[in-house]
Amino acid sequence: MSHIFERTVINGMVLENRLVRSATWEGMCTGEGRPTEKLVSCYRDLARGGVGLIVTGYAYVRPDGRQLPGTMGIYTDDFADEMRHLTDVVHAEGGSIAMQLVHTGGKANTAGLDCLPVSPSGIGLASSPGPSVAMTRSDIESMIAAFAAGAARAKEYGFDAVQLHAAHGYLINQFLSPLTNRRADEYGGSVENRRRFLMEVYAAVRQAVGLHYPVLIKLNVDDFLEGGLIGEEAIEAARRLDAAGMDAIEVSGGTADSGERTPARGRAKSPAEEGYHRELARQVKAVVSCPVMVVGGFRSRAVVEETLQSGGADYIAMARPFIREPDLAAKWRQGGGSPAACQSCNGCFKPGLEEGGIYCVKQREKERLHAGD
């Protein structure tokens, strides 16, 4: 019996199956972060394609938290109409959609804003050397309020859930990591202090949306960086989040500085190399009672099925496969057993940066060849 196509409920949110479109920056919003019809159409295809839950690309909660071009903004009420239209379209197709909330901290691109990026201690890493400004206590307070306001907006606009982005080296992860958090106050130093910002963001978001609305988190369970956040500390954070009422935890790992162990790794040479955060997810599952999602390199239906069946995770999240095949869930539901066609080449980033939206370059090449171009 396939576990993939079981219907489940997370704090009132009904999911038609256990497949999740992991947050994927699409680069399809305007410069100020307003969703476009191109983005709406992307989500329509995903919902129509039957994936259980769509998580949006990371949406920035303050203008100084934006990183890549064309990212969605959730810092203002000005985009309410477009946001409501977007969730209506997904719901009309029978889909569910969560908004991922982010501040990219020291990795932000603040060009045109007349301010430097902010970060826990003003420390950058090779992929984002800075400069950035260390946050004051009042910056921290206003940042927490910005996450809460973003969550309240997402709920108001019809999103079925929010997901905190606490992975991949962005602001929450920067607080958790001893490499980027060298603070001497109660937000730095001990593991408990480094975790404080995350716990306060969660508490404020929960307060803003209430108990009966799903709050999810994507958490780095290992940064795979010398001196960075390690499994033991992240697993304890997961345990505490679960105890505090977190509705689901998506396990990820790595940052742009993690060499071969970045969040979006190269192609697996065998099914055994797929699902490269499976072991970390198992460790999280052992200490929490909320559902666990796992992302990273899943491509074969058999590996997805085995991970669910063996209790290694409750949901399987994928990002790149759905860029090439937004209807992957429908194909598998109809009995197709082929692995996702995605080759994990990361060619999808370039058109997002240069052409106003991501797409699978390999698929486009194939179509051109067929058309005899």
Ligand X SMILES: Cc1cc2nc3c(=O)[nH]c(=O)nc-3n(C[C@H](O)[C@H](O)[C@H](O)COP(=O)(O)O)c2cc1C
CA-wise closest residue to 165 among 320, 354, 353, 23: 23
- Identify whether the C-beta of residue 123 lies closer than 8 Å to the C-beta of residue 179: yes
Contact call for residue 332 and ligand X (CB under 6 A):
no
Tell me whether residue 167 or residue 208 sits nearer to ligand X (CB atom). 167
Contact call for residue 358 and ligand X (CB under 6 A):
yes
- Binding region for ligand X (CB under 6 A) out of 75-83, 209-217, 223-231, 341-349: 341-349
Tell me whether residue 141 or residue 354 sits nearer to ligand X (CB atom). 354
Judged by CB under 6 A, the residue of 17, 24, 174, 177 near ligand X is 24
Contact call for residue 319 and ligand X (CB under 6 A):
yes
Contact call for residue 359 and ligand X (CB under 6 A):
no
- Binding region for ligand X (CB under 6 A) out of 164-172, 173-181, 238-246, 285-293: 164-172
Instruction: Name the one residue in this structure whose structure tokens are 């999810």.
Output: 216
Contact call for residue 349 and ligand X (CB under 6 A):
yes
What span, in angstroms and rounded, lies between the C-alpha atoms of 146 and 97?
21
Site for ligand X in 165-224 (CB under 6 A): 165, 167-168, 218
CA 107 to chain centre: 16
Q: Tell me, what amino acid is at 327?
A: D
CB of 250 to ligand X, least distance (A): 8
Instruction: Give 315's Cβ-side CA count (13 Å radius).
Output: 32
What span, in angstroms and rounded, lies between the C-alpha atoms of 275 and 305?
12
Tell me whether residue 193 or residue 300 sits nearer to ligand X (CB atom). 300
- Identify whether the C-beta of residue 352 lies closer than 8 Å to the C-beta of residue 70: yes
Site for ligand X in 253-282 (CB under 6 A): 263-264
What span, in angstroms and rounded, lies between the C-alpha atoms of 360 and 8?
30
- Binding region for ligand X (CB under 6 A) out of 79-87, 103-111, 175-183, 319-327: 319-327
- Identify whether the C-beta of residue 86 lies closer than 8 Å to the C-beta of residue 69: no
The number of residues that bind ligand X (CB under 6 A) is: 27
- Binding region for ligand X (CB under 6 A) out of 22-30, 124-132, 285-293, 324-332: 22-30
- Identify whether the C-beta of residue 229 lies closer than 8 Å to the C-beta of residue 125: no
Tell me whether residue 25 or residue 157 sits nearer to ligand X (CB atom). 25
Three-class DSSP category at 326: coil
CB of 114 to ligand X, least distance (A): 25
Strand partners, 249: 217, 292
Q: Tell me, what amino acid is at 336?
A: G
Judged by CB under 6 A, the residue of 10, 13, 25, 51 near ligand X is 25
CA-wise closest residue to 23 among 61, 49, 53, 67: 53
What span, in angstroms and rounded, lies between the C-alpha atoms of 246 and 298?
24
- Binding region for ligand X (CB under 6 A) out of 29-37, 195-203, 303-311, 343-351: 343-351
Site for ligand X in 67-126 (CB under 6 A): 100
Tell me whether residue 65 or residue 188 sits nearer to ligand X (CB atom). 65
CB of 56 to ligand X, least distance (A): 8
Q: Which residues of 247-282 are buried (b: 16+ CB within 10 A; e: fewer)?
A: bbbbbbbbbebbeebbbbbeebeeeeebbbbbebbb
CB of 137 to ligand X, least distance (A): 28
Contact call for residue 293 and ligand X (CB under 6 A):
no
Tell me whether residue 188 or residue 280 sits nearer to ligand X (CB atom). 280
Site for ligand X in 47-66 (CB under 6 A): 57-58
DSSP E strands: which ranges in 32-145? 53-55, 59-60, 72-73, 97-102, 118-119, 133-134
- Identify whether the C-beta of residue 250 lies closer than 8 Å to the C-beta of residue 22: yes
Tell me whether residue 188 or residue 347 sits nearer to ligand X (CB atom). 347
Contacts of residue 57, Cβ cutoff 8 Å, sequence gap at least 6: 23, 24, 25, 26, 27, 71, 72, 100
CB of 342 to ligand X, least distance (A): 7
Tell me whether residue 172 or residue 208 sits nearer to ligand X (CB atom). 172
Interface contacts to ligand X, rule CB under 6 A: 22-25, 57-58, 100, 165, 167-168, 218, 252, 263-264, 295-298, 318-321, 346, 348-349, 352, 358
